[in-house]
Amino acid sequence: MDSLIERVYFSSLVCPNLKLSLPRWVQAPSAMMVYGIVLVIYFLITGGVIYDVINEPPSIGSTVDSRGNSRPVAFMAYRINGQYIMEGLAASFMFVLGGLGFVILDRTTHPSLSKFNRSMLLGFGIGSVLIAYMTCRTFVKIKLPYFYKEFAFLLSNSQMPKQRTTYSSITASGNTTSNPLSLELVQAYNQLKQEVDACFNRFARDGIQIQELRILYEKLYREENRQSNYNRSKLKASVQSFLKDCELQFSSVQQVLREVQSTQRVLEAKKAEVMSGKHRSSKEVCSSMDKQNGALRRCTLMLMLQKSAISIPVWVSISNDSAPPLCGAVPATPDYVCKLGDLCVAKVKNDDYWILAEVKAYYSAQAKYNVEDIDEEQKERHILGRKKIIPLPVFRAHPALNPEALFEVNSNVLALYPQTTCFYRGIVQRRPPGPLDSYLIAFEDSSYPTGFSPPLTVPQRYVVSP
């Protein structure tokens, strides 16, 4: 078959009798040249050249310190998927240096090397690997300041025997005065537990009612045109009764959520008192230990803020009411007064410098707040007027049920920068797709060509109107 195809094909086409030769300057590259090209490509890829070409980040960035002053930075902290040009070049240089160290160590096994040259290569190779490793470790600490602290903290906790304190053990011991969880809080918990159990029981009864309604509806559907008035009236009465039960159930769930919020507020206040007492005692005993544990306290603060963002309930109305004040983007009423212990956005300086603060007191005669910086490293008190205080939302808005309670795309907002306690101006790039999702906020940053940083995720609770 192949010979037949060749005869048919070459009967009309004849191969020319030519002899082609490559120019003398065209030669196969040497092994070292190929190695150098691979090394350069590796340097460019690990340096993020593709990311730099697509996103065009600045060579270095800038940040605002606790005093509001701008200072240059070479590493984009808290960002895994973002970098500055200098950051990528420095990291890729260390990667190449470490790789060359291993290559040099491999060359030390050559039998023709003298003892002196082998010792020099061993020292240079080991030194390159150690320098690259220690420098990259330092870069990771700058990029993710609390990564190693969190890992060591979790590792130490996993090796320690766990002691769990429950409400039953507290009440059984009878010592509620010395325990941070007071007797009132334990009683509130027991009452809340009873109401939650009652809600679950009503949920079970509702499931039975739904099954009965489905059976009755299928019975009417099978009757088709000869439906009896008795069955129709029975179905109507059952549906009306079920709707009333749903309204009562909804009211009960809302009441439970309100009590959960109040219990959480009391619990957080108790924890704050205990933590402040421990902080003062440890500071009196050993201030150096506080400095070592400062990163852990800040890590705990960041986790607390994330938990606070997802702990606020989603606003749902059974009668399709509009979203109330402090639900998503809906601002507070002019006469609203923040409660003691509430988190708010406070403008503490004349310039546009906003921080996350906790309300400590409200002076109604002067219409001023006494707020405290939520940051453990600052803990400064400020007396501010009501115009310099923005309450945080207490409800999350459901995008499908209350889309008007969310900020529109390209809206100017104040948002909490991730892993910090400061609010900065930005624009909304994307609204939350679901009630548990976050905004995508592009923060104002003059170091970028567009004037805005790459979009970051910010929960609904920490996005307010300026």
What is the model's pLDDT at position 356? 92
Q: Do 108 and 118 touch, CB atoms closer than 8 A?
A: yes
CB 252 within 8 Å of CB 260? no
Report which listed range, 116-130, 231-245, 311-325, 345-359, is most confident: 116-130
Task: Say which residue, 266 or 342, is predicted with more confidence.
Answer: 342
Q: Distance from first CA to last CA of the chain, Å, rounded? A: 81
The pLDDT of residue 282 is above 50: no
Q: How do the residues of the chain divide into helix, strand and coil, expressed in percent and rounded to 5?
A: 50, 15, 35
User: DSSP E strands: which ranges in 69-158?
Assistant: 70-73
Count of other CB atoms within 10 angstroms of residue 55: 14
Q: Are 357 and 344 in contact (CB under 8 A)?
A: yes
Please name the CATH architecture into which domain 343-464 falls: Roll (2.30)
Measured CA to CA, the distance from residue 385 to residue 367 in angstroms comes to 6
Q: Which residue has the higher pLDDT, 252 or 164?
A: 252
- What tens digit of pLDDT does each residue of 203-256 get? 556 566 666 667 766 666 666 555 566 666 776 777 777 777 777 766 766 676
- pLDDT value at position 61? 78
CA–CA gap between residue 39 and residue 45 (Å, rounded): 10
DSSP 55-81: H---SSEEEE-TTS-EEEESS-TT-SS
- Pairwise CA distance, residues 266 & 256, whole Å: 15
| 169 confidence band (pLDDT: 50, 70, 90) | very low
pLDDT at 287 over 90: no
Are β-strands 389-391 and 343-347 bridged in parallel, bridged antiparallel, or unpaired?
antiparallel
* Average pLDDT score over residue span 364-373: 90
The mean pLDDT value of the chain amounts to 77
Residue 312 — φ and ψ, nearest 5°? -70, 140
> Which is more confident, 279 or 271?
271
**Predicted confidence (pLDDT) at residue 431 exceeds the cutoff of 90:** yes
**61-64 long-range contacts, CB within 8 A, separation 24+:** 61/445, 61/447, 62/445, 62/446, 62/447, 64/353, 64/422
pTM summary value? 0.53
Mean pLDDT of 434-456: 88
**Which is more confident, 288 or 396?**
396
Q: In this structure, are residues 210 and 242 in contact, taking their beta carbons and an 8 Å threshold? A: yes
Tell me the two tokens of residue 236.
Answer: 């109507």
Q: Which of 3-12, 35-44, 114-123, 365-374 is least confident?
A: 3-12
